[in-house]
Amino acid sequence: MGAKKGWRMCWLLLASLVFYSYWDVRLLPLLLISVVVNWFLARFYGAAGHPAIPLIGVMMNLLIIGIFKYANFMTENLLLVWGGRFDPWNIVLPLGISFFTFQQISYLLDLRRGQAPVYSFGQYALYVMFFPQLIAGPIVRHNELIYQFDQSPQRDGCAERLSRGFILFLIGLAKKVILADKMAEIATPLFSLAAEGKHLTFAEVWVGAGGYTLQLYFDFSGYSDMAIGLGLLFGFTIPINFNAPYVAVSVRDYWRRWHITLSRFLRDYLYIPLGGSRFGLPRQVFAVMVTMGLGGLWHGASWNCILWGVWQGFGLIANHLWQKTGIHFPRAIAWLMTLLFIISGYMVFRSETLPQAWTMLATMIGRHGWSLAVNDVGNRWRVILFALPALIGPTSHELALNKLKPRPIYATLAAGLFIYLIWMIGDEGYSEFIYFQF
Amino acid sequence: MKDIRNLSIFSSSGGWKAFLRTAACVLLVLFLGSVVFILVVDPYASIPFSPDWERSTVGDQRLFYPNLARAARFDSAIIGTSSGRLLRPEDLNKRFASRFVNLCLNSASVYEQKAILNIFLAHHPHPKTVIFGIDHVYVKEKYNKPHIEPAFEWPVWLYDQNPSNNFPPYRLQTLTHAWSQLLSMTGLKTYKYGRDGYTDFTRPMDEYDLNRARMKIYGTQEPKPVKAVFPPVRMSSAEIDAFKFPNLAILARMLRKLPDDTVKILVLMPAHHFIQPTPGSADAIRWQEFLRRLTELTRNLPRGYILNFNIPSPITTQDVNYWDGLHYTVVVAARLASLIAEGVQGNIDNANYVRLVADK
């Protein structure tokens, strides 16, 4: 079946539908309708050629995401300004809406720019719904994936792709089950205590901050590794999404390493159309702030997320201005400053309310004392220990796609680790991936 | 780093094929090996076709006690929570001419108590004696469902009496338990749980620390007197009628399942007097109403007895009898066994309990 393109695509589409339904079947019709309507608009544009058609599609996508993801937030804030009581509507957030909507927007805009053809329905549907990347990315572009549908997974190199794909998937799974979930066990209770207004010590807030910083990275990059690994198992290459972000030596460097496919999307479809760096500094500041503010909003309908995005915007502008001075910090200082900037942003991102974020940030800089007491001393060491794979050593991609050699001992260890992880998941289950909520 | 978009990096060399073969073989061997290991050792004695070896309790009671509940060597059972765990079957066997198994589960909800009793009854349709340890969980409006907390994970598959799902979950805990079971079966390791379900889960008495116990009972090392609420809370009969005791309905179902000739003993377990409902309080009214409705349950119940030990008494007013407000010492447990027999068989009143009988 793998050798016949039609069957292969049908099978993958079916698998994708089953996969999405497994997570949340309630909004499968929305996904299907979205794909069908977008494809019809693309086709209509291909026939009629009117430039407004893709824009109508973009507006429609924004409307859908606006209703499902932002309606409560926007209404609540409008009523806050105008006065009035608001009981939130019971709106179910469709899984992966931020991802499949953005992929479709990017396609429509490329179509309008003359950079994309009109694909067959099967190609387009599989591009949007290809299950490894459907729910939490990476955000793949049409010209990165669709051409690969023509290639048989059994083509030359199948054994190596399967091996490397398996190892990358395995690394992602281990990141999630061993690293991310363990860090969550440390960070979540501390953030919950802070949300309840309980006092955390200086050390506890830092442990919570470190734990969450690592949890977020291992969780999301683990998912991306699994998606890319799964893609390879089916013979597809999906762009990488993370490249050791916590070794970044500037905010700009960080955004080139963190959620790379989102950064790329924001750059090409928001920052550059807003003027980018082509019209002087004020316009660039505007473009960066709007781009990052909306990027923050993309992560969640809350002021915390927006503020986190704006904070990143400030960082990028400051980074840009500093670069113009030509002064360079020593690499270690630059790294530390960048990491502290990132962690401080996460405190806003993770906190449930802004006052909680302020309190935690104030505690981090010693405004509430310098107590080194923590509830569980071991957690301090666990955070430090778990930081090592994020800071040193090869990335999962380097390991699986470059350094891995076809030695039986590695295959044996990998198989052993895989079954152990299955047993662990059986025991403890796993928490939902953080980016599933975006 | 290689660009993963460059598909030419992928080769079909024999090395990678061997890599895949090795990984697949190791996976298969580990998977099949672990499945066979679980099937043969059968840690929870739940698989019908596993070897007929005697299996012990080597861990979580909720997983291992169904095996005890099925065992043919018993004809009587003790059902309850940790407040009943220290009742030693040996202390009761002679007094009731029965062979007891203690099936009390830590923090068991009443639903869970019913579930283990159901298994016992499925394999012992005519038990001689069943003792129910009635404590605070019966009085609350909750505890009528299985626990959902990970610490007390309820293994539905083991209790639903559906033979088609008796294979234990394929997970690390099952493998660990199978390994422990193997060690126990081969005599390489002994576990604290007795063959009759009895386990002294408290510390040795020579480690008993009265100050520590008082901290747990009173919150301080100094004993506090019980202060009656004054003026006492008053409730209308409508308010009292509105009290809900969903667990009494479960208890009623359990009692109905027992044959007429089974001796049914409902023991209201002796909590320390300081944590008993304070006189004059709303809790005390609720408690009295609970006792009234409980007593009603035994009206026309053949061979049914209620002994209320949850009263200020020589046992419950002595701090030295307790580790904390709920858990008495093994010394008290032995005394309790003889007092239960005395209360049921001798019709003798005692300062430590009150026999409750429904009004005629």
Digitized pLDDT (tens) for each residue of chain B, 360 residues in all: 444 444 445 555 679 999 999 999 999 999 999 999 999 999 999 998 999 899 999 998 999 999 999 999 999 999 999 999 999 999 999 999 999 999 999 999 999 999 999 999 999 999 999 999 999 999 988 877 787 777 788 899 999 888 888 899 999 999 999 999 999 999 998 888 889 999 998 988 889 999 999 999 998 888 898 899 989 999 999 999 999 999 999 999 999 999 999 999 999 999 999 999 999 999 999 999 999 999 998 888 899 999 999 999 999 999 999 999 999 999 999 999 999 999 988 767 788 888 887 665
Distance between A76 CA and the closest CA of chain B, angstroms: 34
- Distance, in angstroms, between B177 CA and closest chain A CA? 12
Q: What is the predicted pLDDT for the residue at A23?
A: 79
Q: Are B98 and B129 in contact (CB under 8 A)?
A: yes
- Chain segment A195-252, per-residue pLDDT in tens: 998 888 999 999 999 999 999 999 999 999 999 999 999 999 999 999 999 999 999 9
* CB pair distance less than 8 Å for A415 and B16: no
pLDDT at res. A434: 62
Closest by CA to A103, choosing from A152, A65, A68, is A65
Looking up tokens 């409730």 gives: B235
Residue contact B26–A166, C-beta within 8 A: no
Amino acid at A38: N
Question: Which residue of chain A is at minimal alpha-carbon distance from B24?
Answer: A415
Pairs of CB atoms within 8 A across A/B: 107
Q: Which CATH class is domain B61-164+194-357?
A: alpha beta
Q: What is the dihedral of CA B255, B258, B262, B263, to 10 degrees?
A: -10
Is A411 within 8 Å of B19 when comparing Cβ atoms?
yes
Minimal CA–CA distance to B108: which of B67, B41, B61?
Answer: B61
Mutate to test the interface with A, among B22, B60, B63, B177 (most CBs of A within 10 A): B22
**Domain residue spans of chain B:** 4-41, 61-164+194-357
pLDDT tens track for A146-193: 999 998 888 888 999 999 999 999 999 999 999 999 999 999 999 999
Task: Point out the residue among A160, A419, A422 whose CB comes nearest to the CB of B16.
Answer: A160
Cα separation, B63 vs B45, whole angstroms = 10
> Phi/psi at B303 (nearest 5 deg)?
55, 40
Phi-psi label, residue B67: left if phi above 0, alpha if psi -120 to 50, beta otherwise: alpha
**Rounded CA gap, A69 and A72, in Å?**
8
- Model pTM score: 0.83
Lowest mean pLDDT among A123-137, A173-187, A289-303, A307-321: A123-137
Q: Is the ipTM of this complex over 0.90?
A: no
B171 has a chain A CB within 8 A of its CB: yes
What phi and psi values does residue A98 have, to the nearest 5 degrees? -65, -30
Among A396, A414, A224, residue whose Cα is nearest residue B20: A414
What's chain A's length in residues? 438
Q: What is the pLDDT of residue A261?
A: 94
Which active-site residues of A does the annotation give?
299
Give the nearest chain A residue to B2 (CA atoms): A402
* Residue B5 phi, psi dihedral angles, 5° rounding: -80, -15
- Taking an 8 Å cut-off on Cβ atoms, the answer to whether A397 and B4 are in contact is yes
| Closest CB from A164, A398, A423 relative to B172 | A423
**Distances in Å between the alpha carbon of A57 and those of A53, A101, B125?**
6, 10, 69
Tell me whether B7 touches chain A (CB under 8 Å): yes
The C-alpha atoms of residue A326 and residue A322 are separated, in whole angstroms, by 7
Q: Residue A135, Cα to own-chain centre: how many angstroms?
A: 10
In the prediction, which pLDDT does B7 show? 43
Place of tokens 């019908």: B48
Question: In angstroms, rounded to a whole number, what is the distance separating the alpha carbons of residues A204 and A199?
Answer: 10
Q: What is the pLDDT of residue B339?
A: 94
For chain B, list the strands marked E by DSSP.
76-79, 100-102, 129-134, 263-268, 304-308, 354-356
Nearest CB partner across the interface for A237, out of B7, B12, B175: B7
Q: Which residues of A touch B1 (CB under 8 A)?
A: 395, 397-398, 401-402
Residues A415, B26: C-beta atoms closer than 8 Å: yes
Q: What distances in angstroms separate CA A322 from CA A275, A330, B173, B232, one per listed residue?
A: 21, 14, 55, 74
The span from the first CA to the last CA of chain A, in angstroms, equals: 35
**Option in B20, B22, B170 nearest A412 (CB):** B22
Are B132 and B251 contacting, i.e. CB atoms less than 8 angstroms apart? Answer: yes
CA distance B201 to chain A (A): 25
Phi, psi for B192 (deg, rounded to 5): -75, -20
The answer to whether the Cβ–Cβ distance between B171 and A407 falls below 8 Å is: no
If you measure CA to CA, which chain A residue comes closest to B174? Answer: A427
Q: Decide: residue A19, CB within 10 A, 0-12 exposed, 13-18 middle, 19+ buried.
A: middle
Q: Does B5 touch chain A (CB under 8 A)?
A: yes
A chain contacts of residue B13, beta-carbon cutoff 8 Å: 159-160, 406
Give the pair of three-digit tokens for residue A428.
């403890």
Mean local confidence (pLDDT), A4-18: 90
Distance, in Å, from the CA atom of A96 to the CA atom of B347, rounded to the nearest integer, reads 70
Judge contact between B119 and B66, C-beta under 8 A: yes
